[in-house]
Chain A
Amino acid sequence: MTPEQITLVQSSFDRLGPQLPAMATRFYQELFARDPALRPLFTTPMAEQKVRFAEKLTEIVRAMPRLDELLIHTRALGARHAGYGVRAADYQTLGGALLAALAAELGDSFDAPTREAWALAYNLVAETMLEGAAAARPIGS
């Protein structure tokens, strides 16, 4: 990513402000619409799940400029998700749902450069989460 893209991710996220819970709601709607089979993977009550999602996303976006700090968050998060049976293909679905939710809440300001910046940021997050997941879940176990 370029420094400008990192800034773009952070500034567009900041713009969400009080809309963050709405974005979280939208994210899960988009996610389950894309793949209803994912729903049973979420055992936490949805209201709590959304709060957790918003918190995690905030942490990750804040850490975006500092890779060391980002990796601590994403690897741990990936390791936790490995336990829920989330697979590489699901990360694609998650990414699509996240971009769609951001687009819905940010409206016109979610322009092409912002989308691209988020897509790259998500890719970085997803790859390092998968890395954390792999470390936590030896195969055959």
Chain B
Amino acid sequence: MLADVAVTLQQWPIIGRRPEIEVFERALGSGELAGLVIHGRAGTGKTRLADEYRQQAAAAGHPTERVAGSRTTALVPLAAVVALLAGGLGRPGPDGQVDTVALFEQTRQALHQHHRGRRLVTVADDASLLDAASLALIGYLAAQGTIFLIATVRTGEPVPDLVTSLWRDGRLERVDIGDLSRAHLDTLLHLVLGGPMEAGAGREFWEVTRGNPLYVRELVLGGLESGALVDRSGVWHLEGRLPSTTRLLDLVEQRIGLLSAQARSVVELLALCEPLELGYLETAAPAGVLESLERAGLVTITVADQEVRLAHPLHGRVVRAAMPRSRARAILLAQAQRLEDGHPVPGPAALQIATWRLDAGGRPDPAVLIRGAHLARHAHDFRLVRRLIEAVPGEQLDAVGALLLGEALYELGVFDAADQILAHGQQQPSSAHVALRLAVTRAKNAQWGLCQPEAALAINATARTVITSSPLAEELVADEASVLTFSGQPGRALAVLERITGGDRRTRVVRAIAGAPALAMTGRTAEAVRVAEAGYADHVALGDELAIAHPAMHIVNQVFALSEAGRLAEAEQLAQAGAEIAASDRVPIAQIFFAVNLGRVATLQGRVATARRYYAEAAGLAQASHFDGPRRIALSGLALAHAMLADADAATQALAERATGPAFGFRGPEQQLGDAWTAMASRRPAQAAQQLRDAAAQAATTGHRTVESWLLHDLMRIGAQDTSARLRELADACDSPLVSARARHSAAARARSARDLTGAADDFEALGALLLAAEAAAGAAEAFSRDGDQRAATAALRRSSALAAACEGAVTPGLFRAATAVPLSGREREIVMLAAQGLTSKDIAERLYLSVRTVNNHLQHAYTKLGVNGRAGLAQALGSTA
């Protein structure tokens, strides 16, 4: 996609300016007007708009020209408008001087003749910087109707007399342009990058640029160049911060450079320490300075909280970059001192003080650094936590500091360093509470980051020998269960949780995190939903604590439990809401799991293309935050979705990508659905069946009842084996209507009972599992036909194709039941099914990566075999309503 972006960038699209373009069309069309002037602040795109005007005029057959003012051409009269001087530079008169009136008239006549009376559409960019003679010539030509003037004038710069006089005469149209709205920014980014952007990245663009088109452009270019802006599976992600570019610096520097020394020092102060209290600044800055900065659009004052900040975040960056180190240091130290004097008690100011001291290159008090790190952690700013703690000299780093740093490193995906620092912390003297949190965090890092559940269990076991008092001992047991749940052993996890008798609120929160998914996996879905809900409530009541997951993880668990309970629509809705929270709080692990679960729900619903999109997004997020284990789950799901769309190559590719990471036990048997369906799509049904059998056996030993039912049901769906007996047992052991529906479906298929297959289709449809419903209905059609009830068979077929139409192009063996009597090849079936859904040959060719001719050849063969004449006959043969 990078190459496409580069091509697109040569012509930056013009967004949100169509009304202004229409103003130009009308102005040029009317004989009355001599021109148009574009006003706006720096970077709003005046030049771009003027050039767009010029291009449009040229396209309509007008001759065009462009002149531009600059600080250098302003020194030489007429230097800027040489391009217009068609009649030469004029001849000196007897007195040795050029008669300007004669020169202007010569120029007019020459242009008139040259362009055969058509008005020359002339852009005068940065008109304020043109010299007086050039302005006079342009004014003359515009007034005479020789040129149609398009002038740009930057807000705040003097408006040339020529513009004011034409304006006064009503011969000039005025266009004011500002920054883009958020929606227009979104559209601009979408068009320039050629695809969607992850929510967090979109928000960052808005926050940094506030819709200023030039900033957007510079930051996109800078982001692509530095690799901060990356395309992961068709979705743009932002990894790291947006860089600034030289051009951006110049631009802002120009604006700041014109300020008085007093005003500049206020801007510098704000650039380092914003926001500042209005009351303080009013006493610190001379009278009038703040007002003039506000008028110039450089600072904004919020009345509600009486705070002053820079109007544009980028101004701060640029000013900071340009400021001498010594000066920045002096300002920061003075402000830190001021704050410390005013706020002697440790509070939120501690963070400010510590960061300012650090920025100043000083050595803040380690106690203040650690206090500051606590506050930064509270704001989930793990980069700042890391920075603050890493400034503490190694020999002074105590257990609490190590805990904060270890957790931050884990959150930032630096797992090896996290393990080291946490181990260091465990060797320092500490309270039992801190010792517990060090152990828990280190185990979590081993489990999720390093993908070593055995190491996590060992860390937990060691801690349990040392920490034996209640409620800490109980929490460690809950944590052991958590490791077991998330390494794919729900049965053992629940057994461990049984051991807990007491404990406090915190223990309950950890129990819920471990317990809810384990309950859901073992088929106690109603209880799982309740535990997740209660866990969330407890977690919120607990407040901010160290060494514990983000509250959103309970929502992740609830989504999972709902989907295992077959409450697919609720799961989807909750996951979408949760994903928003996770994105705005920047909790990557929760973001990944929301995307994974959305993919999973979509798979169960049969919306396979949607599933593919979510899984791809989850894989991208996981890669960006270095979570190899969750990435494995996402890539397995991606392979499954590709395979159900009959894209064997892409599915194989996803599995190959997955093979580069370590093994990960969480949802282990489920991961093998990806392998099995890829084998199916690659026409290796025996292998697919074996993989499903192995995975189901594994699920049976670890207590993954709901997934065992999924795997066994799929074994039946691919026509490999009757699994109805075990599915019945599982349905009895679980409280999930989805698990029950699978059992009913397989029993009905075994009995070839048309009525029961119809019932299974009803069950699946009620749950929103439309692909399974379509397959059951197809099975019913086959059974009706065998029973000789052709009418019922036709109706069931209709129903099956209507349901399949909602499945976004899914291609599964169960959908082909209708045509089982007809000896079609696999490819022919695939194509016939798509054609029956109403897709054109072109659509089919695109979807299957075939040529249109190949598709048509396959269709012809299929027509012959089915004994029909064409597409319409095909639909009839398959009983489709299409």
Q: Which residues of A contact B (CB under 8 A)?
A: 1-8, 10-11, 14, 65, 67-68, 87-89, 91, 113, 119-120, 123-124, 127-128, 130-131, 134, 138-141
Closest to A2 in B: B199
27 A-B pairs with C-beta separation under 8 A: A1-B186, A1-B197, A2-B196, A2-B198, A2-B199, A2-B235, A4-B576, A6-B613, A7-B613, A11-B607, A14-B806, A65-B196, A91-B18, A120-B187, A124-B190, A127-B18, A127-B184, A130-B18, A131-B13, A138-B59, A138-B61, A139-B60, A140-B25, A140-B29, A140-B57, A140-B60, A140-B62
- Is there an interface contact between A88 and B196, defined as CB atoms closer than 8 Å? no
Residues of A within 8 A of B367 (CB): none
Kindly state whether residue B482 has any CB partner on chain A within 8 Å.
Answer: no
Report the Cα distance A94→B244, complex, angstroms.
38
Which B residues lie within 8 Å of A139 (CB)?
24-25, 28-29, 56-57, 59-60
Chain B residues, Cβ within 8 Å of A123: 183-184, 186-187
**Nearest CB on B from A35, distance (A):** 15
Within 8 A of A (CB), among B138-187: 183-184, 186-187
Which 6 residue pairs are nearest across A and B when measured between Cβ atoms?
A88-B18, A138-B60, A139-B25, A123-B183, A140-B60, A130-B18
C-alpha gap A46/B213 in the complex (Å): 41
User: Which residue, A128, A140, A141, has most C-beta atoms of chain B within 10 A?
Assistant: A140
A residues near B598, Cβ cutoff 8 Å = 4
Decide if B498 is an interface residue (CB 8 Å cutoff).
no
Q: Is the CB of B15 within 8 A of A120?
A: no
CB of A141 within 8 A of CB of B195, answer no
A3 CB, nearest partner CB in chain B, Å: 5
Shortest distance between the CB of A20 and any CB in chain B (Å): 14
Do residues A11 and B28 form an inter-chain contact, with CB atoms below 8 A? Answer: no
- A4 to B22, Cβ gap below 8 A? no
- What 1/0 mask marks residues of chain B from 186 to 204 whose CB sits below 8 Å from any chain A CB? 1100110011111100100
From A1, A65, A141, contact of B60 by CB (8 A): A141
Tell me if A124 and B187 are in contact (CB < 8 A): yes
Cα–Cα distance between A89 and B564 once the two chains are bound (Å)? 49
With a CB–CB cut-off of 8 A, which chain A residues contact B191?
67, 124, 127-128
Partner of B22, one of A3, A65, A87, A124: A87
Tell me whether A88 and B19 are in contact (CB under 8 A).
yes
Q: A3-B198, A139-B57 are in contact. List 16 more A-B contacts (CB 8 A).
A: A1-B186, A1-B190, A1-B196, A2-B199, A2-B202, A65-B613, A68-B194, A88-B22, A91-B18, A124-B186, A124-B187, A139-B56, A140-B28, A140-B29, A140-B60, A141-B60
> In the docked arrangement, what's the CA distance between A65 and B194, Å?
10
Cα distance A124–B195 when bound, in Å? 11
B404 interface residue, CB < 8 Å from A? no
Q: In the complex, which residues of chain B have a beta carbon less than 8 angstroms from the beta carbon of A5?
A: 196
- Contact (Cβ within 8 A) A3 B617: yes
Q: Which residues of B contact A7 (CB under 8 A)?
A: 610, 613-614
In the assembled complex, B63 has its CB within 8 A of some CB on chain A = no
A130: which B residues are within 8 A, CB to CB? 18
Min C-beta distance of B574 to chain A, whole Å: 13
Q: How far is the CA of A61 from the CA of B533 in the complex (A)?
A: 36
Whether, in the assembled complex, B579 has its beta carbon less than 8 Å from a beta carbon of chain A, the answer is: yes
Kindly state whether residue B434 has any CB partner on chain A within 8 Å.
no
With the chains together, A9 CA to B579 CA distance in Å? Answer: 17
Determine the residue in chain A with the shortest Cβ distance to B613. A3
* Contact code string B710-737 (vs A, CB < 8 Å = 1, else 0): 0000000000000000000000000000
Contacts of B376 in A (CB 8 A): none
Task: Give the Cβ gap from B573 to chain A, nearest Cβ, in Å.
Answer: 9
Smallest Cβ-Cβ distance to B200: which chain A residue = A2
- Of the candidates A11, A87, A113, A134, the one whose C-beta lies within 8 Å of that of B580 is A113
Answer yes or no: B795 CB below 8 A from chain A CBs.
no
User: 8 Å CB contacts to A: which residues of B350-397?
Assistant: none
B16 CB–A CB distance under 8 Å: yes
Min distance, Cβ A6 to any Cβ of chain B, angstroms: 6
Is B21 an interface residue, CB under 8 A from the partner? yes
Could you tell me how many residues of chain B have their Cβ less than 8 Å away from some Cβ of chain A?
A: 42
Q: Is the CB of B28 within 8 A of A89?
A: no
Q: How far is the CB of A26 from chain B (nearest CB, A)?
A: 23
Is there an interface contact between B196 and A120, defined as CB atoms closer than 8 Å? Answer: no
The answer to whether residues A120 and B18 also contact, given A3-B617, A14-B806, A67-B191 and a CB cut-off of 8 A, is: no
Known: A4-B199, A5-B196. A89 touches B60 (CB 8 A): no
CB distance from A114 to the nearest CB of B (A): 10
The answer to whether A4 touches B60, judged by C-beta atoms less than 8 angstroms apart, is: no
Nearest opposing residue in chain B for A10, CB measure: B610
A120 to B496, CA, bound (A): 49
* Contacting residues, chain B, for A127 (C-beta < 8 A): 13, 15-16, 18, 184, 187, 191
Nearest CB in chain A to that of B182: its residue: A120
- Do B57 and A113 touch (CB < 8 A)? no
- Residue in chain A with minimal CB distance to B19: A88
When distances are taken between beta carbons in the complex, the residues of chain A under 8 Å from B580 are 113
Which chain B residues numbered 9 to 56 have a C-beta less than 8 Å away from chain A?
A: 13-16, 18-19, 21-22, 24-25, 28-29, 56
Least distance between B343 CB and chain A CB atoms (Å)? 39
What CA separation (Å) do A69 and B810 show in the bound complex? 21
Closest beta carbon of chain B to A112's beta carbon, Å: 10
Point out the residues of chain B lying under 8 angstroms from A87, CB to CB.
Answer: 22
> Closest residue of chain A to B202, judged by CB?
A2
Given contacts A138-B56, A139-B24, A139-B28, contact A4 B579 (CB under 8 A): yes
B14 neighbours in A (Cβ, 8 Å): 131
Nearest residue (CB) in B for A133 is B18
> Is B21 a contact partner of A67 (Cβ separation < 8 A)?
no
Chain A residue numbers with a CB within 8 Å of B610 are 7, 10-11
A92 CB, min distance to chain B CBs, angstroms: 9
**Residues of chain A contacted by B61 (CB below 8 angstroms):** 138, 140
Residues of B within 8 A of A10 (CB): 610
Report Cα–Cα, A11/B198, bound state, in Å. Answer: 19
**Interface 1/0 per residue, B53-75 and A, CB below 8 Å:** 00011011110000000000000
Give min CB distance, A90 to chain B, whole Å.
10
* CB of A10, distance to nearest CB on chain B (Å): 8
B190, A119: Cβ atoms closer than 8 Å: no
Give B575's nearest chain A residue, CB to CB: A4
Nearest neighbor of B27 in chain A, beta-carbon distance:
A139
Name the distance in Å between B13's Cβ and chain A's nearest Cβ. Answer: 7
Residues of A within 8 A of B13 (CB): 127, 131
- For residue A71, give the distance in angstroms from its CB to the closest CB of chain B: 8
For B8, the closest partner residue in chain A by CB is A67
Contacts of B16 in A (CB 8 A): 127
Q: How distant is the Cα of A120 from the Cα of B197 in the complex, in angstroms?
A: 13
A2–B197 Cα distance when bound, in Å, is 5
Closest to B16 in A: A127
| Chain B, range 179-235, C-beta contacts under 8 Å to A | 183-184, 186-187, 190-191, 194-199, 202, 235
B203 to chain A, nearest CB (A): 10
Contacts of B235 in A (CB 8 A): 2-3
A119 and B13 CA atoms in complex are apart in Å by 19
Contact A88 to B21, CB < 8 A, known contacts A4-B576, A7-B613, A141-B60: yes
Rounded to whole angstroms, the CA-CA distance of A67 and B236 in the bound complex is 14
B195 near A67 (CB under 8 angstroms)? yes
Separation of A8 and B580 alpha carbons in the complex (Å)? 13
- With contact pairs A3-B235, A3-B617, A7-B610 given, residues A120 and B60 touching in the complex (Cβ less than 8 Å): no
Least CB distance from A72 to B in Å reads 12
Nearest-neighbour CB distance to chain B for A41, whole angstroms, equals: 16
Tell me the complex Cα distance, A4–B198, Å: 8
A138 to B53, CA, bound (A): 11
Closest CB of chain B to A50's CB: distance in Å? 20
B46 CB, min distance to chain A CBs, angstroms:
19
Chain A neighbourhood of B28, CB < 8 A: 139-140
